[in-house]
Amino acid sequence: MPIEFTSYIRPIHYLPVGDLAPYTGTTGIGWGQVDDSTPGLVDSLRWVKLTVIPNEECQMIYGQQILENMVCVDGNYNEGTCKGDSGGPLVQDLGKGYVMQVGIASFISSNGCESTDPSGYTKIFPYVDWIFNVTGMPPYS
């Protein structure tokens, strides 16, 4: 069904044309828990600044289950993705109000979202052709 855009429902502006570079700044967005001890979703959409870490570094924590189509991110002060954020976007700010979606929230550590373990996202880049074929949305160029 067509989506009606409002001030609360906005389209993503761009899709990536290349892979994410390590140590790139991103923003995770979601309705998930704010910490490990407070259950349930929040009433207002939240965001957190996150940094891309190399997959090799992430594999030191999670092993070979980290694949090329995944990206791991880390936040400051144990901030990051939490329960209930799965499916939420990972975006990069392109400036002037434009954003590019680069990932989809996939997993958090079994040690909880307040641990120092990174969070995992599915990369958008490997699926850009499929997204374009289904939606007609071209990647950023």
CATH assignment at residue 86: 2.40.10.10
- Region of 101 on the Ramachandran plot (φ > 0 left; ψ -120 to 50 alpha; else beta): beta
pLDDT of 77 above 90: no
User: Does 14 reside within a domain?
Assistant: no
Has residue 8 been placed in a domain? no
Q: Is the pLDDT of residue 55 over 60?
A: yes
35 in any annotated domain: yes
pTM greater than 0.85 (yes/no) = yes
Domain membership of residue 81 as a residue range: 25-135
Asked if the structure places residue 20 within a domain, the reply is no
3-class state of residue 127 by DSSP:
helix
pLDDT in tens, 22-32: 999 999 999 99
> Tokens 């090329």 appear where?
68
Statement: residue 95 has pLDDT above 70: yes
CB 124 within 8 A of CB 70: no
pLDDT band for position 5 (cuts 50, 70, 90): confident
Residue 117 belongs to some domain of the structure: yes
Structural domain total, the chain: 1
The verdict on residue 12 lying in a domain is no
In a domain, 73, yes or no: yes
- Residue at 66 is within a domain: yes
Predicted confidence (pLDDT) per residue in 82-91, tens digit: 999 999 999 9
pLDDT of residue 140: 66
Q: How confident is the model at residue 141 (pLDDT cuts 50, 70, 90)?
A: low
Backbone CA torsion sign across 81, 84, 90, 91: negative
